[in-house]
Structures are given as C-alpha cells and as structure tokens.
Amino acid sequence: MPVASAEKFNVEQEIKISSSRQAADLKNKIFSYIDNVIISQGTLTIHAELVQVITQENSDSKIYIAKGSPATFEQTLQDGSPINLQANEIRYEPSMNTVVISGNALLSQEGSKVSGSKITYNFATEYVNAESLENAKVETVLQPKNKTELPIKSKDKQE
C-alpha cells in the first residue's frame, strides 16, 4: 500500500471545532465536544460523536481523542491524494505527528487498505504499524502496482 508523506500539519493554521454541545473542565484543561463534531485544520478533518481535547501539563501540546461509530480522520497528502482513517477511537497527537486508531481500525489510501484492531501512523516518518487482537489477523488489500507509486513502510505485530 502506498503512503506518501502528509502535508505539514498546518500547525500555524487555526483549528475550527463545531459540535452540537460543548463542555469544559477548566481545572484539568479537558474540553469536550459532543454530537456531530467536526474538527478542521488546513487539509485535516476529523468527524466524531465525541471529541475530548486534553492540554498537556506544562506545555501547550494537545491530544485529541475522538470517538464514534466510526470516527473518521482525513488528511490530504503532499501529492494531493487523501489518506483516510476510521475507527471506534482516534487519538491524534499533532506535536508527535502521530495518529493511533483502535477498534475496527481501517486505513485506506488510493484504493489500498489496512485493517486491524489498532493502527499507528506517523506522518513525519511515514511509518505504519498495524496490530490485531490475539485471535484475529491484520488484513491488507493492495492495489496493482500500476495504480500506485510509493511503497508502504509497515510492521505487523505477530502474536
């Protein structure tokens, strides 16, 4: 499966969050966005039923935890193609350039797909790690080479 590097996360661009309801735990710096949540920043879009934004202690770094049936994460890559991730839970850490999806996890790009119980994707290193539960397998569907350009960097967990 090809994986091209994602556009820089546009960290200097504003983050837009819309939802039906919002709640905040100001003391613990946890902001919750509930029902019909859409987060966008540059070419990045997250759709979920619930998103919690947690500000890391002693820094401005944030962790986004999105939950849904499924929650989705879309990012446009440098070559203009989209990478799509979906799962029951998405954990996005912009400061680490990583997204971890778990629970019916699916990563798709240009028709190729990787599915498992947990998939970690690092946008900076273009590294994909897919894992499965003990009695399940990671599944990969690759499109023919003439439809793809770049190889994937992947490591499957063997149990």
- 103-146 pLDDT, tens digit per residue, is 999 999 989 999 999 999 998 888 999 999 988 899 999 988 66
108 in a structural domain? yes
Place 60 in a pLDDT band, splitting at 50, 70 and 90.
confident
Which carries the bigger pLDDT value, residue 81 or residue 6?
A: 81
Mean pLDDT (the chain) is 87
State how far the Cα of 158 lies from the Cα of 124, in Å rounded to an integer.
25
Q: What share of the chain is helix, strand, coil (3-state, %, to 5)?
A: 5, 60, 35
In a domain, 10, yes or no: no
Q: What pLDDT shows up at residue 41?
A: 92
**Cα distance between residue 36 and residue 151, in whole Å:** 35
Question: Is 109 a domain residue?
Answer: yes
97 lies in some domain: yes
Phi, psi of 76 (to 5 degrees): -85, 130
User: Does residue 135 lie within any of the structural domains?
Assistant: yes
**Per the domain annotation, does 24 fall within a domain?**
no
- How high is the pLDDT of residue 117? 97
pLDDT at 6 over 60: no
Task: Kindly tell me if the per-residue pLDDT of 153 is higher than 80.
Answer: no
Which amino acid does the sequence have at 72? T
Q: How far apart are CA 3 and CA 128, in angstroms?
A: 9
- Number of structural domains (the chain) is 1
Residue 74 belongs to domain spanning:
38-48+55-156
Give the mean pLDDT of 22-46. Answer: 96
Structure-token match 């119980």, residue found = 117
Dist. CA 76–CA 67, nearest whole Å? 21
The pLDDT of residue 3 is: 47
> In CATH, what number is assigned to the domain containing residue 43?
2.60.450.10
Query: Does residue 126 sit within a domain?
Result: yes
**pLDDT, tens digit, 9 for 90 and up, residues 38-57:** 999 999 999 999 999 999 88
Mean pLDDT of the region 72-87: 90
The answer to whether position 28 is within a domain reads no
